[in-house]
Amino acid sequence: MKVFSLDSKDECSKIGANIILDELEKNKNLVLGLATGSTPELMYNYIIDNFKKRNLSFKDVKTFNLDEYVGLKPNYEDQSYRNFMNTCLFNQIDIDKNNTHFPVSYKEINVQNNYDSYDKLIDENGGIDIQILGIGNNGHIAFNEPGSELESKTRLIELTESTIKANSRFFDNINDVPKKAVTMGINSIFNAKKIILLAFGENKREAVEKLINAKSFDKNWPCTSLYNHEDLTILTDIQF
Ligand code: GLP
């Protein structure tokens, strides 16, 4: 694990973007695992601002997003992670939207309990080359809430009160926040060849500290599942 405690989120985002662009330069068929939330936004801006300058193209890139809400009320479609990714990245780069994947459509009504076909699709595409991750205050990664199993795959999950509360800032009323989501599992994430975890702000300190100090997996802190990943880079503005 490499930990970079940097001066600003700007600096972290620039480094994260450059890791992706450098890899894209070497491999135009890159498979990216992408995250939503406020954390990766700045990094996506850097990618948008720089890919053309570096003469790079996303037309052969495939992306797999970590998670998506289930049961989003129609007036909140703009809060879907599909919409977030289209707005913050996909509409502004030359990616083919057919190559951008989500574990479920936010419009899905007949939800199943089992979504491991998403993991199969990732495998069929050669696995994730670079996985971008944010982190929840409670140590969740994607929507793998405390209690998630190390071997978990993509699945339907009930969001915890703490996550619902944290995400209520994007909704008019806390009751409008979806209670369920489909998330890539801990094992699905761990299988990525390279992981870049971004964490900004003091409210993430405890979770990041748990990961940095982990000697084994602690179910109460899903982020600790990454403690022995062979290529994990943490970019943070928290000073340790
Ligand atoms: C959500 C997402 C996570 C994200 C987390 C942190 O719950 N499912 O993927 O890492 O929030 O969000 P933020 O980056 O806005 O702090």
Smallest Cα–Cα separation from 52: which of 97, 93, 95, 10?
93
How far apart are the C-alpha atoms of 48 and 62, rounded to whole Å?
16
Mutate to test the pocket of ligand 1, among 140, 144, 177 (most ligand atoms within 8 A of CB): 140
Q: Is 238 in the pocket of ligand 1 (CB under 6 A)?
A: no
138 is catalytic: yes
Ligand 1, atom 5, lies closest to the CA of: 136
137-189 pLDDT, tens per residue?
999 999 999 999 999 999 999 999 988 998 999 999 999 999 999 999 999 99
- Would you give the DSSP letter of residue 160? P
Region at 126 (left for phi over 0; alpha for psi -120 to 50; beta for the rest): left
| CA 163 to ligand 1: nearest atom | 7
The single residue of 138, 144, 167, 191 carrying the catalytic annotation is 138
Q: Is 222 in the pocket of ligand 1 (CB under 6 A)?
A: no
Q: Residue 85 above 90 pLDDT?
A: yes
32-66 pLDDT, tens per residue?
999 999 999 999 999 999 999 999 999 999 999 99
Determine the pLDDT at residue 80: 96
- 136: CA distance to ligand 1 center in Å? 5
98 is catalytic: no
How far apart are the C-alpha atoms of 65 and 109, rounded to whole Å?
19
Region at 55 (left for phi over 0; alpha for psi -120 to 50; beta for the rest): left
- Would you give the DSSP letter of residue 227? T
213-222 pLDDT, tens per residue?
999 999 999 9
Q: pLDDT-based confidence at 74, cuts 50/70/90?
A: confident
Q: Is the pTM above the cut of 0.75? A: yes
User: What Rg do the C-alpha atoms of the chain give, in angstroms?
Assistant: 17
| CA 67 to ligand 1: nearest atom | 8
Q: pLDDT-based confidence at 111, cuts 50/70/90?
A: confident
140 is catalytic: yes
170, HSE (Cβ side, Cα atoms, 13 Å): 19
Q: Residue 2 above 90 pLDDT?
A: yes
- Would you give the DSSP letter of residue 114? B
Ligand 1, atom 6, lies closest to the CA of: 136
Smallest Cα–Cα separation from 194: which of 22, 13, 76, 51?
22
Q: Which of the residue ranges 9-23, 29-43, 65-79 would you say has the lowest mean pLDDT?
A: 65-79
Determine the pLDDT at residue 112: 86
Q: Residue 3 above 90 pLDDT?
A: yes
Q: Are strands 67-70 and 31-34 parallel, antiparallel or unpaired?
A: unpaired
